[in-house]
Chains A and B, each alone.
Chain A
Amino acid sequence: MYRLALNMLFGDRAKLAMLLCGLAFSALLMAQQTSVFFGIMSWTYTPVYNIRAPIWVSDPMVEQANDAKPMRDTDLYRVRSVDGVAWAAPLHTSFLQARMQDGNFKLITMVGIDADTFAGAPAVLSQGLIEDLRLPNTVIVDEWGAQLMGRVTKGPDGKDVVIPLKVGDTFEVNDLEARIVGICKVRRAFTGGPFVYTTYDRTKLYTLGARRTLSFMLVEPQAGVDPVKLCARIEADTGLKAWTSDTVIWSWSDRSLARNTFWWFWKNTGIPFSFGTAVALGLFVGIAVSGQTFYSFVLENLKYFAAIKAMGAGMGVIARMLLVQAFTAGLLGFGLGVGMAQAIGRAMIEKGMPPFIMFPQIFWATLALVLGISLVSAIIGIIKVSRVDAATVFRG
């Protein structure tokens, strides 16, 4: 009977197309919006993602990775003296204005790393050498920043053309020269400005006037020391806040800086609400369109279901037929919708905007929701058919 149920479904191509459109649109909206949402939210903990250190130490009032509250340089020595710490390096982060050669100003995120160990340096450089950062007045700019801060000129066709910054180019920060010695590849930040790396000591010059420049400390535990236990020890010994650097936002760890950053933005911004609205809209549109279309499919076939009932099919068989029809449409709609979301996502990734991350959880959650829509549609149909009296087949 299930094969016949499918033939009934596929035989009505107009209804099937409508049903698939509703389900696919719903799946697309839910998967695409959720993936963009998580993409954008993943930018919130970019510092932790870009700078891989087992433990981050901050001022105790810090709530998330973009919220640097400067500490005293002497705090670094206190942390280094905690039992179980192999090494600790200073890290500075601040938002500054960079003055370009054409006089234009751009907002940048300056990152100061330890010049001795280069702890916190970008992992991949597409141009230049990290060691050149030890030369006077030198910086490393990320690829997106090189593009954003590039020089705009007129092309042969009269249109604006951006010539990206390259090694050797210069700009100014607080009237001090910053000479580019490298271009790096890092993930972009939620806060917008491109990353400009320099040495920790040099940030004191660029942030002229700032009394404290120690934003975070990057800590490596000694071999065999559990990072979570070391965090607790650092907090107990120094009164500072210690975080682990895992970027699993789904974890229950209170110590994860990435997770805390993610949920801070979740609670304190309207982003989840706006994206949640779009996802809810997808769900409701799916239920409305698919439910209505499937209901109309059932209505159109009601007299045939009544005939099948009269011929001796129990409600169990008919219910399973309707479930097979609804779930088949659901799976096809899901495939189409998520396929389109992936295609759009790939196009986005190539352009870099907006960010797109389809976690396996998003895939499975979308599948569950689409099948939920199918189930609701099937239940509506089953209720309708169950109320049909088999005797109606004798009434013309």
Chain B
Amino acid sequence: MSTHAAHTVAVRTHGVDMFFGDGETKVTALKQADFEANRGELIMLVGPSGCGKTTLLSVIAGTLTPQTGTVEVFGQRLDGLSQEELTTFRRKHLGFVFQSFNLIPTLTVLENVMVPLLIQGAAHDEAVAKARAMLEKVGLKGREYGQPNALSGGQQQRVAIARALVHEPSLLICDEPTSALDKDTGAQIMQMVRDLSRSPERCVVVVTHDHRIFRFADRIAEMEDGRIRRVVEDASLLDTNHL
């Protein structure tokens, strides 16, 4: 990946087709989807339900392998990689923020944040130190040993962001990060994502329906029927009623 350091494109998909099932039950999720996201950029994927946003996000995250087309993330071609190689790639380079937080309720806040580090094979003490530091960054110092369920929705999403960034991934994938949050909390969360991800070595892809957070995007890619319809920098150019 270092050979691509000067390259500005962080994520690129080209001619990606993705369908599920076959025969009469065949559903086409992506049709020749071409997408690009740059380093240091926060880009949002928007569009109506069923347009293929989540499928494209899964393809970029390496959790789904497209039938055709190429997928490149920070210079690494994902299409053609084995499941094991994809798993290793995700472990090293990807961070995830999920719609429903996916914090493990039986673990403490600190332990939840330690998970990506431990998956990478970090020593326990090192993982504790890094997780603590990250929780401090997201404003949750003193909450380390509480259970996630004891936190508010906004606080839980902050824990999720800490977990997504603690191992310093290149690509941060956010799936509807504000859908379970009120307007102000959602704005705070997006501001935090934006601040923490501002780095030329990082890219943030956010899938969202929430037009209240469009202003945090550097660019917005609008999807329709399994392909990118257009990419805009100004959210006001989008027809939010259509989304």
- Residues of A near any B CB (own CB < 8 A): 1, 3-4, 7-12, 301, 303-304, 307-314, 317, 389-391, 393-396
Contacts and interface: CB of A to CB of B under 8 A. Distances in A.
Max chain A Cβ within 10 angstroms of own Cβ: one of B54, B63, B64, B106: B106
Nearest to A390: B63
Contacts of B91: 311-313
Contacts of A390: 63, 90
A8 B54 contact: no
10 contacts: A1-B119, A4-B118, A7-B108, A11-B106, A12-B106, A311-B96, A312-B116, A393-B63, A394-B99, A396-B176
Nearest to A393: B98
Contacts of B87: 309, 312-314
A304 B63 CA distance: 15
- Which 10 pairs of residues, A with B, have the shortest CB-CB distance? A11-B106, A312-B91, A391-B63, A312-B90, A307-B102, A390-B63, A391-B58, A313-B119, A304-B104, A394-B54
A203 B136 CA distance: 93
Interface string B80-121: 000010011111101010111010111110010011101110
Chain A interface helix/strand/loop/mixed: helix
Given A4-B111, A7-B111, A393-B98, A310 B63 contact: yes
A1 B115 CA distance: 7
A352 B56 CA distance: 73
Interface residues of B, number: 35
Contacts of A396: 99-100, 176
B242 interface: no
B102 A393 contact: yes
A322 to B, nearest CB: 14
Contacts of A311: 90-91, 94, 96, 115-116, 119
Contacts of A12: 106
A317 to B, nearest CB: 7
Contacts of B138: none
A368 B108 CA distance: 34
A1 B54 contact: no
A307 B94 CA distance: 12
B175 interface: yes
Interface string B17-49: 000000000000000000000000000000000
A310 B104 contact: no
B171 to A, nearest CB: 12
B106 A7 contact: yes
B57 interface: yes
B90 A394 contact: no
B162 interface: no
Contacts of A308: 115, 119
Nearest to A1: B118
Contacts of A4: 104, 107, 111, 114-115, 118
B189 interface: no
B175 to A, nearest CB: 5
A312 B92 contact: yes
Contacts of B64: 389, 391
B61 interface: yes
Contacts of A3: 124
Given A11-B106, A395-B54, A312 B88 contact: yes
B58 A394 contact: yes
Given A312-B88, A389-B63, A391-B63, A8 B107 contact: yes
A312 B94 CA distance: 8
Contacts of B102: 303-304, 307, 393
Given A1-B115, A7-B111, A307-B96, 15 more contacts: A3-B124, A4-B111, A4-B114, A4-B118, A8-B104, A9-B106, A10-B106, A301-B104, A303-B100, A303-B102, A304-B102, A309-B87, A311-B91, A311-B94, A393-B175
A316 to B, nearest CB: 10
Contacts of B111: 4, 7
A8 B116 CA distance: 16
A11 B107 contact: yes
B175 A394 contact: yes
Contacts of B96: 307, 310-311, 393
A20 to B, nearest CB: 16
Interface in B44-70: 54, 57-58, 61, 63-64
Max chain A Cβ within 10 angstroms of own Cβ: one of B57, B63, B100: B63
A301 B106 CA distance: 10
Contacts of A310: 61, 63, 90, 96
Contacts of B54: 394-395
Max chain A Cβ within 10 angstroms of own Cβ: one of B89, B105, B116, B119: B119
Nearest to A9: B106
Nearest to B88: A312
Contacts of B120: 312
A308 B87 CA distance: 11
B208 to A, nearest CB: 12
A394 B94 contact: no
B19 to A, nearest CB: 14
Nearest to B59: A391
Interface in B1-29: none
Interface in B166-186: 175-176
Nearest to A12: B106
B115 to A, nearest CB: 7
Nearest to B99: A396
